[in-house]
Amino acid sequence: MAVAEAQHTLARPLDVPAVAKELGATGLVIFALAFGLVGFETLDVPGGIGINTRFGDVVGAVAVGVLGRLALILLREHRPKPVLFAGAPLALVVLVLLLSITLFGPETGEALKAFLPFKSPVVMWGILVVAVILVIRAGYAVTHMSSGLSPDEREAKMDRLSARVQRAAKLLGPLLLGFALVFPFLPFADRQLLDIGILVLTYIMLGWGLNIVVGLAGLLDLGYVAFYAVGAYSFALLATYQGMSFWVCLPFAGLMAATAGVLLGFPVLRLRGDYLAIVTLGFGEMIRVILLNWYSFTKGPDGISGIPRPSFFGIAEFTRSVDEGTTFADLFGLTYSPTQRIIFLFYLILALAMVVNVFTMRIRKLPVSRAWEALREDETACRALGINPRNTKLTAFGIGAMFAGFAGSFFATRQGFISPESFTFIESAVILAIVVLGGFGSQIGVVVAAILLIGLPEFFRELQQYRMLAFGMAMVLIMLWRPAGLLAHREPTIRLFGAKGKAGAGS
Amino acid sequence: MQNTFAYFLDQLINGLALGSIYGLIAIGYTMVYGIIGMINFAHGEIFMIGAFVSIITFLLLGIAGITWIPLALLIVLIVAMLLTSIYGWALERVAYRPLRGSPRLAALITAIGMSIFLQNYVQLLQSARNKPMQPVISGGVEVLREGSYVVSLSFMQMIIIVLTFVLMIIFSSMIARTALGRSQRACEQDRNMAALIGINVDRTISLTFVMGAALASVAGMMFLMYYGVIDFFIGFLAGIKAFTAAVLGGIGSLPGAMLGGLLIGLIEAFWSGYFTVEYKDVAAFSILVLVLIFRPSGLLGRPDIEKV
């Protein structure tokens, strides 16, 4: 067969000295990287810091790195068989070891850990995942007689997959919405699950809001959390100082955030992409520093507590008894339960998120959104066509900020307490990661990414400390693998000669 | 008190020392931006790693019993530059090289991802607590006495300013005179043409990252010795301020980065001295915004003309 022949000609004899040199260089670099920071641990001792050595981990890191590089070289040189036949059993042994560590008690676990290069099970699981991916690649290469896909083929394949997901979203979207609607009444939905659901929905809303700015208009905003903070503080301050209710404050909080967005955007939106990113980041930090230090107004690091909970549209309260008016339980003839408020909050954020979603879907059909997308693709051409870049960008920036303001006031009313701690740069980075992972501009992608990034770590609490590490790594890997975003697929918004054409006919 | 000349001089000295540190970090931003046109957002973390490598080396030297300060400083300087520059090299090789030719934003997002990764990597390995260190160099000379107010220039501040000055001269002459510097300037003007005349572009870019990281590690070491305490988060603020310095001086220009660094350091010191300490970060960011609005090419930069 032609493929087999091609395979035969591709598999040149292995240049052993060159491979050895490459492996040696890899080992040396990893050793140098690990020696300082992994090899020595600074410890807190009375009166200063002490030091502890961890040379075992350095050796482990070098060994794992060299083995991984060897596997990659073998795959590159069209020799997948050794990778498959050596890698698969090795991965299996590690898997069995790891499983037995988690299954058997701590004593057996400690004894078994001696067989692993790293003491931390999470690190080992991470290495195992990479090893399994390499083995799968090798297996694919052996069965398909080829050394994997070329980048172009892979890109085309991922694009087809993304297109399929986006088409499925037409069906999947209503299904997910339906699930969310009945979710609070499902038998397994306890308080904890509802809280996680509320959290995930908050991030979905923020992701969709940022998607307008980053995905549609192509403006990289690293200070999105600033508008979230403006919304939260607007509501919290109005509610605690003026005693205004959530429903009165909600539009006002959105307005304040949008104003902040326009005020910031006006001078800086003519900057080029990466400068804009840094300026928005600086602005986000500025807002936080001001909130932290303007003690007489924002109570600084103490935060604002006692923020009122939302009422049932101003008709009834979610408390056991009230001084005046009615309680929610009385209004509907139910017995009082604290879960009623949680369920109400869940529906509230669901409704807010859906407002953002519907808004985005509808505005994509309006000229202003077409102008955003055109600006994202080519600003110079847009200028030539008579689009005012600054005003057009300003609308996107303002609208995105407004939705962040809504989400912020929801956050404040749900928590009952806010402080500048909640609005750090990391928060912006997380929201951005959700948009990036989902594929810029893809609505369903944001949902998937928010569930993966926010929902999953909530279940695996012990992963919490590794969460941000994995975040950073995921952002890098996804950009390296698909710079357009994981589930990115751009259907042209409009076509010449109607929409029939060859829409979605692959490639 | 705040009206005296002595107070002014005190702030001036503080600002110069702080500005030197910012300047050294800013050079890394400016060189990378000059050569590949990307903001290396993770550069602040390289500075932080330099500080951590330094503190570990200091501790090891203390255990080994090397107490003669000049020798200890030299060893720490060399070890920190060496190990940190490998981080700089690996950063470029792993995260940025595969993305060359991709859209600008993709590279910036990768850089942000790398920054988050490195921060948490150090946090996991070295714990999130503050790492205090005994002052290595103490004492100083008295510059001015006004009543009971004494202005002194500490030996540490002297070392910071002198070392920065010396490193600036070494690196400027490297770029102006050596073959590597010529390749760098050629790559800055036109990477494709540089490749055509036989310059190894990949190697030149790698070495640029190595140089930037080495300077950042010196800044990290000086930061550690000056303030006596570090944590895994110092790279974020220092990085943003150094970037502000690079933009203020004109991104892509080496003397500009140094000038910008000194200006930011001085502004911060005077702001803290005469207004409020709390809002010194706001002052730095406001300057960034103002510079970008009114003079996007910076003080010493060339205006950037976008061609279609």
Tell whether A185 is covered by a domain. no
What are the residue boundaries of the structural domains of chain B, listed by start? 5-294
More confidently predicted of A152 and A421: A421
Give the contacts of A15 (CB within 8 A, at least 6 positions apart).
none
Residues in chain B: 308
In a shared domain, residues A33 and A91: yes
> By CA distance, what is A50's nearest residue in B?
B59
Q: A496 in a domain, yes or no?
A: no
Across the interface, which of A42, A268, A469 has its CB nearest the CB of B289?
A268
Residues of A in contact with B308 (CB under 8 A): 380
Q: Which carries the bigger pLDDT value, residue B3 or residue A81? A: A81
Partners of residue A221 in chain B, C-beta under 8 Å: none
pLDDT at A504: 43
Indicate whether A177 belongs to any domain: no
- The answer on pLDDT for A149 being more than 70 is no
Q: Return mean pLDDT, chain B.
A: 87
Residues A109 and A245 in one domain: no
**How many residues would you count in chain A?**
507
Cα separations in angstroms, B270 against B11, B145, B280: 6, 20, 9
Sign of the four-CA dihedral A12, A24, A127, A452: negative
**What is the rounded distance in angstroms from the CA atom of residue A85 to the CA atom of residue A139?**
9
Q: Tell me if residue A2 falls in helix, strand or coil.
A: helix
Of A10, A467, A36, A46, nearest to B51 (Cα)? Answer: A36
Closest CA to B27 of B157, B160, B156, B172: B172
Asked if A380 lies within 8 A of B118 by C-beta distance, the reply is no
A502 Cα to chain B: minimum distance (Å): 27
Q: Is the pTM of this model over 0.80?
A: yes
User: Is A501's pLDDT higher than 50?
Assistant: no
At A403 the pLDDT is 94
Contact A212, A364 (CB under 8 A): no
Proportion of chain B above pLDDT 90, given as a percent: 39
| Cα–Cα distance, B156 to B152 (Å, whole number) | 11
Enumerate the residues of chain A whose CB falls inside 8 A of the CB of residue B89: 29
DSSP helix/strand/coil, A316: strand
- Residue B240: which of A33, A49, A282 has the nearest Cβ? A282
Interface with B, mutate which of A479, A481, A482, A486 (most B CBs under 10 A): A479
Among chain A residues, CA nearest to B114: A472
pLDDT, position B163: 92
Looking at residues B147-169, what average pLDDT do you find? Answer: 88
Calculate the average pLDDT of chain A: 80
Which of A70-74, A79-83, A95-99 is the most confident on average? A70-74
Question: Is B60–A51 a contact, with Cβ atoms under 8 angstroms apart?
Answer: yes
Instruction: Give me the residue from A267, A278, A472 closest to B39, CB to CB.
Output: A278
Are B59 and A42 an interchain contact pair (Cβ–Cβ within 8 Å)?
yes
Strands B131-132 and B229-230: antiparallel
Residues A145 and A138: their CA atoms lie apart, in Å, by 10
How far is Cα B300 from Cα A394, in angstroms, rounded to an integer? 30
Flag whether A101 is in a domain: yes
Residue written as token pair 């800044």: B219
- By C-alpha distance, the chain A residue nearest B76 is A36
pLDDT band at A462 (very low <50, low <70, confident <90, very high): low
A319 and A438 in one domain? yes
- Residues B5-294, CATH architecture: Orthogonal Bundle (1.10)
Q: Work out the pLDDT band at A402, boundaries 50, 70, 90.
A: very high
Count structural domains, chain A: 2
Region of poorest pLDDT, from A105-114, B30-39, B228-237: A105-114
d(CA B194, CA B35): 12
Nearest CA to A216 among A372, A446, A432? Answer: A372
Asked if pLDDT for residue B17 goes beyond 70, the answer is: yes
Q: Is residue A504 part of a domain?
A: no
Q: For B106, name the nearest residue in chain A, comparing CA atoms only.
A: A483
Q: What are A135's two structure tokens?
A: 């083995």
CB-nearest partner of B110 from A36, A425, A475: A475
When CB atoms are compared, the residue of A37, A465, A472 closest to B116 is A472
R_g over Cα of chain B: 20
Q: Is the Cβ–Cβ distance between A41 and A52 less than 8 Å?
A: yes
Residues of B in contact with A121 (CB under 8 A): none
Question: Are A381 and A427 contained in the same domain?
Answer: yes
With CA atoms as reference, report the closest residue to A455 among A475, A474, A480, A430.
A430
Tokens of B271: 């702001």
Set of chain A residues whose Cβ sits within 8 Å of the Cβ of B53 = 36-37
- Dump the DSSP string for B50-77: HHHHHHHHHHHHHHHT---HHHHHHHHH
CA distance B143 to chain A (A): 32
- Interface test mutation site (partner A, options B104, B117, B122, max chain A beta carbons within 10 A): B117
Is A216 found in the same domain as A83?
no
Nearest C-alpha in B relative to A429: B112
CB of B142 within 8 Å of a chain A CB? The answer is no
Q: Which residues contact A324 (CB under 8 A, 6 or more apart)?
A: none
Q: What percentage of chain B has pLDDT greater than the value 70?
A: 97
The answer to whether A408 touches A227, Cβ cutoff 8 Å, is: yes
Q: Do B124 and A469 touch (CB under 8 A)?
A: yes
Residue A325 has pLDDT above 70, yes or no: no
Q: What are phi and psi of A424, to 5 degrees?
A: -90, 170
User: A104 and A212 in one domain?
Assistant: no
d(CA B231, CA B49): 10
Residue A252 within a domain = yes
Pair A129, A261 in one domain:
no
Residue B288 touches chain A, beta carbons under 8 Å:
yes
One domain for residues A112 and A158: no
Nearest to A281 by CA among A224, A358, A365, A355: A224
**Among candidate residues A203, A200, A194, A198, the one with its CA nearest the CA of residue A404:** A203
Reported as a single tens digit per residue, the pLDDT across A342-374 is 888 899 999 999 999 999 889 888 888 889 888
Spell out which residues of chain A touch residue B105, defining contact as CB-CB under 8 Å. 218, 220, 273-274, 277
Assign B305 a pLDDT band (cuts: 50, 70, 90): low
The predicted structure's pLDDT at residue A243: 76
Instruction: Give tens-digit pLDDT for A194-218.
Output: 888 899 999 999 999 999 998 888 8
Tell me if A467 is assigned to some domain: yes
Burial (CB < 10 A; 0-12, 13-18, 19+), residue A366, is exposed
| A490 occurs within a structural domain | no
Asked whether residue B211 carries a pLDDT value surpassing 90, the answer given is yes
Give the DSSP letter of residue A453. Answer: I
- Contact: B90, A33; criterion CB under 8 Å: yes
- Domain residues for A298? 153-162+196-481
Residue A167 clears pLDDT 90, i.e. is over it: no
**pLDDT tens digits along A4-32:** 444 555 566 778 888 889 899 999 999 99
Statement to judge: residues A101 and A208 lie in one domain: no
The per-residue pLDDT for range B271-291, each reduced to its tens digit, is 888 887 778 888 888 888 888
Q: Is the Cβ pair A42, B279 closer than 8 Å?
A: no
CA–CA distance, B140 with A253 (Å, rounded to integer): 54
What average pLDDT does this structure show over B104-129?
Answer: 87
Whether the predicted pLDDT of A268 surpasses 60: yes
Same domain? For A365 and A261 the reply is: yes
Does residue A87 share a domain with residue A133? yes
Residues pairing with A294 in the sheet: none
The residue of chain B with its CA nearest to that of A485 is: B106
